[in-house]
Each structure stands twice: as structure tokens, then as C-alpha cells.
Chains A and B, each alone.
Chain A
Amino acid sequence: DVKVTQSSRYLVKRTGEKVFLECVQDMDHENMFWYRQDPGLGLRLIYFSYDVKMKEKGDIPEGYSVSREKKERFSLILESASTNQTSMYLCASSPPRRRQYFGPGTRLTVT
């Protein structure tokens, strides 16, 4: 059974802090994705990665960066957290040309 885990279910950070959200998958998937989900807006793609050290911008990359140093791990970084980054963050992974598997999500609050 595919497992995608995220480092925290809930996180509270202050404005201006650097925030790391970690995602790990155990199925050797090539593709990994970071989304944010806000009420009424659905899932919006922040960044995705096809392979180690590869990254591509999604629809809303501003204010975020990512790191993929190992195949199983994809990190989302908020360099300087702002209140408008308060959201639910979902990680997903997939093999090539197959559907995505989602992690449980991290609810981030920036105060």
C-alpha cells in the first residue's frame, strides 16, 4: 500500500519565520507535488518534481521554494512566512503516467 507522509498535521508559525514542510513517500515514485488548498479555491499546484534535483513551478510558486535531494523526499520551503500563506498544504506522489497518491496534509497557520 502506497504511503505518503507529511512531517506535521498542524503547524503554527510567526510572520517572517522560515518554514519547512516535509513529505516522504515509500513507493519509489518519480513524481512529487505540493499543493495548497483553500476553501472555495480547490487544490492549487505550487511546485512539482519529476526526479531528484528536478523541480518545476506550478500555478502559484511565489513565496515558496522546494528541494528534492532524495527520491523519496520533497520539501516545501516558505522563506519568510506571511499570513496569506495560512492554508492546508497537501503533498502527492505518483509513478510516471499514473494517478497521484496524497499525504494527510499539513494545516499551517501563520500569525
Chain B
Amino acid sequence: EDKVVQSPLSLVVHEGDTVTLNCSYEVTNFRSLLWYKQEKKAPTFLFMLTSSGIEKKSGRLSSILDKKELSSILNITATQTGDSAIYLCAVEPLSAGGSYIPTFGRGTSLIVHP
């Protein structure tokens, strides 16, 4: 059974802090790992990672995949109150039919205090 574990489950920081969120996985036929940000609405897509060691970056957010360690990290530098959200990690296997059914982790709840 595919498994995705995120840590920590919750995190409280102050504005300006840097945070690192972790995602580890066990999945057969790995295809990709995705990060989403969820405020009080639909999860919004952040990154898709398929290759090990290549950092993806968007503003203050960055993410990298380590296929050897079966894990990924999401970094947020100089956090702002608007970064407060649940961060979801999902892993997509490549199924025999060619369709990708992702397995989600439980999420990390980040609260950024002013």
C-alpha cells in the first residue's frame, strides 16, 4: 500500500522565520511528487517534482526531491502571515492503466504569527 508521511503535523512560527516541511513516501512505480497549499478553500498547486536533486523555486518557496531517500522538503523563507495554511504533499505512482491516482499525506498545518 502506498504511503505518504508529512512532518511536522503542525508548526507555529513568527513572521520572518524560515521553515522546512518534510514529506517521505513509499510507493511502487514512482512518477512524481506534488506540493499543494490549502487555505480555507481549494488546494492550490505549488510544485511538481519528478527528478532528484533539481530544486524548484517560486518566490520565497522552494522544493527539492531526493529519490534515494524517498523524500522531499518544502522550504519557505522569510515567512509572512499569508503563508499560514495547510501544506499537502501527494505522490503519484504510474499505474498499469497509465492514470495517476495520487496518495496524499495528512498535511502540515503552518501558522505564522505577526
Q: Cβ of A97 and Cβ of B100 under 8 Å apart?
A: yes
A contact residues, range: 20 to 34
Given A48-B101, A97-B98, A42 and B88 contact (CB-CB distance below 8 Å): yes
B-contact 0/1 string along A20-51, CB 8 Å cutoff: 00000000000100010000111111001010
Given A31-B99, A40-B106, A43-B104, A103 and B45 contact (CB-CB distance below 8 Å): no
A-contact 0/1 string along B1-45, CB 8 Å cutoff: 000000001000000000000000000000010101000011111
Give chain B residues whose Cβ lies under 8 Å from the Cβ of A99: 32, 34, 45, 48, 92
Chain B residue nearest to A31 in the complex (CB) = B99
A-contact 0/1 string along B76-97, CB 8 Å cutoff: 0000000000001010100001
Q: Cβ of B99 and Cβ of A97 under 8 Å apart?
A: yes
B contact residues, range: 20 to 34
Give chain B residues whose Cβ lies under 8 Å from the Cβ of A96: 98-99
**Contact of A4 with B by CB under 8 A:** yes
Give chain B residues whose Cβ lies under 8 Å from the Cβ of A102: 36, 42-44
Of residues 58 through 111 on chain A, the ones whose CB sits less than 8 Å from some CB of chain B are 58, 90, 94, 96-105
Give the contacting residue for B9; candidates A40, A58, A97; CB below 8 A: A40
Q: Cβ of A4 and Cβ of B42 under 8 Å apart?
A: yes
Given A4-B42, A99-B45, A42 and B105 contact (CB-CB distance below 8 Å): yes
Task: Report the Cα distance A54→B42, complex, angstroms.
Answer: 25
Give chain B residues whose Cβ lies under 8 Å from the Cβ of A43: 88, 90, 104
- Taking the closest CB of chain B, its distance from the CB of A73, in whole angstroms, is 18
Give the contacting residue for B107; candidates A42, A58, A90, A104; CB below 8 A: A42
Task: Give 14 A-B pairs besides A35-B104, A102-B43 with Cβ atoms closer than 8 angstroms.
Answer: A4-B42, A31-B99, A41-B106, A50-B97, A50-B99, A90-B42, A90-B43, A94-B100, A96-B98, A97-B100, A99-B34, A99-B45, A100-B102, A104-B41
Residues of A within 8 A of B (CB): 4, 31, 35, 40-45, 48, 50, 58, 90, 94, 96-105
